[in-house]
Chains A and B, each alone.
Chain A
Amino acid sequence: MPSSTAVGHLDADCFYVSAERVRDHFLHGKAVGVLGNQGACVIAKSYEMKHAGVKTGMPIWDALRLCPQGVYVKRDFRWYEVLSRRMLDVVRAFSPRVEYYSIDEFFFEVSAGINLREMAERMRDAMLREVGVPVTVGIARTKTLAKLVSDTAKPFGALALLDRAAEVALLERLEVTEVSGIASRRAARLEPHGIRSCLDLARADRLLVRRLLTITGEALWYELNGEAVLPFYTERPPHKMLSRGGSLGGTVGQPERLYAWLARNVERLVEELEFHMVRTGALSVYIQHKDGSDGFARRMLPAHTDRFDLLMEAARSALARAWSAERPAIRMHVAASQLRRSGFVQLGLFDAPPERVEAVAKLKREVNAEIGRFALRSGATLPLADVYRDEAQSYDICDVRGKICF
């Protein structure tokens, strides 16, 4: 990036709650929790609920104890995506180069030299006026610094911070875990070397940081020192891996119900493979049990494929290995790796003629495009009739395409 540019980070303030408030004035001023995981957990909370001690990811029953007067709303990712794309349009009106980082976060390039603080304020105000969502905008020399600036300025802040003295003052008062990419495990590696604040990290020996945190940490070191090294994506680069899954909405002990979840996740994965026009060479199943233990198994496929029947066979075998049958499961993820573009795939020697299954897959795609997602689906999903009846379950955060991050 040329040195004459700066990076902005625009982040919605409690986005899911703000999105609900856009269409529902009654929720303004109240402690609001948006529920995910099929009603089990608070996935977003208003500042009022945060002040009561509720944390993101907290089970609703713990949240109720802390905030009995909270109002709980079911998540609606279709609506959040509508607003997210409107937000993207607003950001693009201010900058020609925008990274759609996540559903509620955007990086953008700006030319240095203009009044950046004023620009941040104008963006923030335009977003509230045109989309109705309160946001915070931070502008700095690098992506990492811009994110720290916007995090510090929340809520509804607008701040540009480009001179080194101001950066140092900011970094000095922030713990190193405030840096995106440094969580508790990495912080524990830094701690014995006296690296506790962001400034400690910025002033640490670069090679030591590289040794402790690999090149990922070294990149953060450069960024904290004002040198932009992280890539700026104006388009989503091709996926190296695709996965589908999540909470099972409670504990699942019956094999037929767990198998139904497996079929559901494989069908969703096939949709993604088809959308991105790739086939997978390996399929993994991850299971988390209620007692906290987990299981993982990977199956190599004889040839790269996006066929439901072949993937289901591999998934079934992986599930048998990953799941401890005597332990109820609470989460499942199915992941496809070793992806290849569909046009460059070698067929297996013993592949059955694909015409019939391809005809079925085509029919499935067409019916679902016409009638609605999952209208035609595997019979193995029948034990999940309750889940399929719920329209909101048919669209998840991972179905919002084009963003860089989950």
Chain B
Amino acid sequence: MLAGMALALSELPVELMVQHGLERRVCDRGGEREVQFLFADADRLLPVWRNGRLQILRWGNRRGESAHLPCTAWTQLDTVQNGGWSDRAIESVVVPATMGLDKGVWYRIRQGIRGLVALDERDRPRVYVICEPSSHYYQVMTRGGSWMPVLIDERI
């Protein structure tokens, strides 16, 4: 399961960096720097292309936050396609990502990840990462990771 992602620093406008205090998430592993968004962060966020704008939204729902939405950060593609979210108003979104993180492996993502946005009881948007059963390669790379994010125009 996706444990985090990173976006190249050049992909994030300065005003978003400042508005959400993302400077502390900037990492340098050589070459262009990146901004990391991890599931383990206290403040769990994800960048999302929504309504033609890049926004920073809360990633999923933790126990004690919203009683209206499922307590998770991911949702299965099958669940979405079989109407598992049909009782809620949801939007399909793209989570732009340069790299994904799973079981400690940082792997390259060319465009991004599919996600969906749902509103909680206070109309705050929360983003869920859409997952599908892992490819053989992904399972081997992550040593048995059974779910992988649905990538945009890419299959690894």
Contact = CB atoms under 8 A, between A and B. Distances in A.
B155 interface: yes
Contact of A390 (B104, B107, B137): B137
A61 B143 CA distance: 9
B138 interface: yes
B136 interface: yes
Interface residues of B, number: 23
A26 B32 CA distance: 6
Contact of B156 (A25, A31, A68, A74): A74
Interface in B97-125: 98-99, 104-108, 110
A392 B136 CA distance: 11
A35 B156 CA distance: 11
Interface in B2-19: 8
A5 interface: no
Contact of A24 (B108, B135, B141): B108
Nearest to B32: A26
A29 B31 contact: yes
A30 B108 CA distance: 12
B108 A70 contact: no
Contacts of A392: 137, 156
Nearest to B156: A74
A326 interface: no
B108 A390 contact: no
Nearest to B108: A73
A27 B110 CA distance: 11
Contact of A249 (B107, B140, B155): B140
A351 interface: no
Nearest to A23: B110
Interface in A35-83: 35, 37-40, 48, 60-61, 64, 68-74
A249 B136 contact: yes
Interface residues of A, number: 33
B52 interface: no
B8 to A, nearest CB: 6
Contact of B108 (A28, A37, A71, A249): A71
B105 A64 contact: yes
Contacts of B107: 71-74
A278 B20 CA distance: 66
Nearest to B27: A69
A250 interface: yes
A279 B117 CA distance: 59
Contacts of B31: 26-30
A73 to B, nearest CB: 5
B63 interface: no
A392 B140 CA distance: 14
Given A24-B108, A38-B137, A39-B141, A390 B155 contact: yes
B136 A68 contact: no
Interface in A360-406: 386-387, 389-393
Interface string B22-35: 00000001111000
A280 to B, nearest CB: 30
Contacts of B140: 37-40, 249-250
A391 B136 CA distance: 11
Contacts of A48: 30
A40 B105 CA distance: 12
B104 A31 contact: no
Interface string A208-221: 00000000000000
A72 B29 contact: no
Contact of A72 (B136, B141, B143, B155): B141
Nearest to B144: A250
A400 B98 CA distance: 30
Nearest to A32: B108
A30 B29 CA distance: 6
Contact of B106 (A69, A249, A387, A389): A69
A68 B29 CA distance: 10
Interface string B55-99: 000000000000000000000000000000000000000000011
Given A48-B30, A72-B105, 5 more contacts: A26-B32, A29-B32, A39-B141, A74-B108, A249-B137
Sorted nearest first, the 3 A-B pairs with minimum C-beta distance are A29-B31, A39-B141, A39-B140
11 contacts: A26-B32, A26-B98, A35-B141, A39-B138, A70-B106, A71-B106, A73-B108, A387-B136, A389-B136, A390-B137, A393-B136
